[in-house]
Structure 1
Amino acid sequence: MSLTAFTAPGRFWRGNLHTHSNLSDGALDPGEVCRRYQAEGYDFIALTDHFVGMFDYPIADTPPYRNNAFTTLLGAELHSGAMENGDLWHILAVGLPADFAPSNSPGFLAVDAQETGPEIARRARDAGAFIAIAHPHWSGLTLADARSIDAAHAVEIYNHGCEAGAARGGGGHVLDLLLSEGRDLTIIATDDAHFTEPDHFGGWVMVKAEANDPDLLLAALKRGEFYASQGPEIRGIDVTKSAVTVETTAAVSIIVQGRGQGTAAVHGTSMTRTEVPLMRFYDSDWLRVTVVDAAGKQAWSNPFPRP
């Protein structure tokens, strides 16, 4: 079995799905944010400013910054309702319609008579958006919180801004617990860039699509035809009952993760085609792959079923 992210028609397009501008609390105007990402070799971004009343519920008008080599997806970071720790929800919504109705979210504190996090996430998904649980570690997300977002397509496994500014950039623990409960989720890496600290150009997705077109990119995200990275490239994954074979740019470790304590790794030098045996995964119905290069940068496949 070959994963469809690597067999679907088209090519990979590099994009950042979590970005802020001075329409909310970022330092740069939307046009400059788009210019910098294109200059750094990105094919697309989603500008996802904070969807709260203090910023007039912005959904950035980024189509004017599209050109024949760069495109944008509309989006926002949604905030409504309190998590178990009392803090406001942060939910990433990429592919929102420009007329998505505001919630009753005046600022960054939960208030009475507002939608819950699960409710606004479901409303955004029903409106056509790709939904991700943002920065689980930074947010202090509990497993009960994570379970409640039943509209999520994905979990941020890496948030570069949260890592740079708080050393809380991860989401793998919450992700794996949800996968082990049977949730169908994919994995994204993002910047959460504000350009107020070194929070940019550190995590991205590589989306397989036939053209660098917003509708095609969004559809591919929803199908899971992408992988996430800090640097390494994943070029193919083939799965049998006994092994996973991974093709990559030069790597020092290929790690397969599954349910509970199920892990297996192969280590080496400048590995580009690596076979990882699956003897330790007798009780796992899902697997995922992590690639590590010599600089310690990682890439992550989306989860896939064990044959």
Structure 2
Amino acid sequence: MRHSAFTAPGRFWRGNLHTHSTRSDGVLSPEELCRRYRAEGYDFLAVTDHFLGIFDYPIVDTRPMRADGFTTLLGAELHSGAMANGYLWHLLAVGLPADFAPSDSPDFLAHPAQETAAEIAERAAAAGAFVAIAHPQWSGLTLDDARNVTAAHAVEIYNHGCAMGCDRPDGAALADQLLDEGRKLSLIATDDAHFSEPDHFGGWVMVKAQENTPEALLAALKRGDFYSSQGPELRDVEVKGDRVIVECSAVVSAIALGRGIRAKGVHGHSMTRVEVPLERFEDSPWLRVSVIDAAGRRAWSNPIWR
């Protein structure tokens, strides 16, 4: 059993799904964002400015910034409704239509008359977007919060801006609890770049598709045909009998994770093919893989459902 990211036709394309420009609270123009990501070797970018009234509900038209070998996905960071802690929800929506109807979200505060997060996520997904729960640790999300947003395709397992800005980058604990409940979610790493601090080029997705086009990339994202990384490459993840076989760029650790307390790591030096035993995973309906290189950078597979 191999993950679809490694069996789907096509090749891997590198992209960032969470970026802010001068259309909301970012430092750089959309044009300069696209130039920099293209110069850094990215194949695609989503500029996802804050979808709020104070910024005139922007869905930035980045289509003119597309070029040979580089494309863009339209999107926004949606905000509507209060989390359990009283703060405003943050949801990433990539692949939104340019005429997506605004919510009643004038600013960064939660207001009683707003749509709930579940409602705006459902609207975005119905409009064709790939929807992700953004930075759970930074937001202070509870499991009950996340349970309500059933239209989400993914959870941010790593947010580089939150790592560099406040040391709250993690979404793994929340994602794993949702997986334990049977939610078929994928895991994305993002920058959440504003360029006001070193919050860029630190987390990305590698999407397997036959073409570097918005349509092909968006379809692959929804299928889960990708992995996420801070640097290491995943080349194959296969469950074979009582072990998972991981092929990757040189790493020092390869770890299989599953339901509840299920986890097993193999450690070494310059490992490019690792067999992780799964004798404690009999009761786990899913598993995913993390690898760590000598610099401490990680890559994450999407879950395999057994």
TM-score band (shorter)? over 0.9
Gaps of 5+ in 2: none
Aligned to 1:228: 228
Aligned to 2:271: 271
Deviations 1:241-263 (A, max 9, x none): 31100000001000000011100
Instruction: Give the paired residue count.
Output: 306
Q: CA deviation at 1:283?
A: 1.2
Task: Find the aligned partners of 2:156 and 2:89 in 1 and give their Cα distance.
Answer: 14
Aligned to 1:43: 43
Give me the TM-score of the superposition, normalised by structure 2.
0.99
Task: Confirm or deny that 1:174 pairs with 2:165.
Answer: no
Aligned to 1:165: 165
Q: Which amino acid is 2:19 matched to?
A: T
**RMSD over equivalenced CA pairs, Å:** 0.6
Task: Find the aligned partners of 2:213 and 2:266 in 1 and give their Cα distance.
Answer: 37
Task: Find the aligned partners of 2:3 and 2:285 in 1 and give their Cα distance.
Answer: 16
Q: CA deviation at 1:282?
A: 1.8
Q: CA deviation at 1:2?
A: 1.9
Which residues in structure 2 correspond to 1:1-307 (within 5 Å)?
Answer: 1-306=1-306
Deviations 1:86-131 (A, max 9, x none): 0000000000000000000000001121101110011000000000
Instruction: Give secondary structure in 2 for the equivalent of 1:249.
Output: strand
Task: Find the aligned partners of 1:286 and 1:241 in 2 and give their Cα distance.
Answer: 14
Q: 4+ residue stretches of structure 1 with deviation over 4 A?
A: none
Q: Which amino acid is 1:219 matched to?
A: A
Give me the TM-score of the superposition, normalised by structure 1.
0.99
Task: Find the aligned partners of 1:4 and 1:61 in 2 and give their Cα distance.
Answer: 31
Q: Which amino acid is 2:71 matched to?
A: T
Task: Find the aligned partners of 2:78 and 2:251 in 1 and give their Cα distance.
Answer: 36
Instruction: Give secondary structure in 1 for the equivalent of 2:46.
Output: strand
Instruction: Give secondary structure in 2 for the equivalent of 1:97.
Output: coil
Q: Which amino acid is 2:54 matched to?
A: M
Instruction: Give secondary structure in 2 for the equivalent of 1:248.
Output: strand
Deviations 1:32-63 (A, max 9, x none): 00000000010001000000000000000100
Identity value in percent: 70
Task: Find the aligned partners of 2:91 and 2:264 in 1 and give their Cα distance.
Answer: 32
Gaps of 5+ in 1: none
Q: CA deviation at 1:4?
A: 1.4
Instruction: Give secondary structure in 1 for the equivalent of 2:269.
Output: strand
Give the stretch that moved more between structures: 237-246 or 206-215: 237-246
Task: Find the aligned partners of 1:186 and 1:242 in 2 and give their Cα distance.
Answer: 24
Deviations 1:183-231 (A, max 9, x none): 0000000000000000000000000001110000000000000000000
Task: Find the aligned partners of 1:63 and 1:53 in 2 and give their Cα distance.
Answer: 23
Q: Which amino acid is 1:237 matched to?
A: V
Q: Which amino acid is 2:155 matched to?
A: V
Q: CA deviation at 1:305?
A: 1.5
Task: Find the aligned partners of 2:112 and 2:70 in 1 and give their Cα distance.
Answer: 41
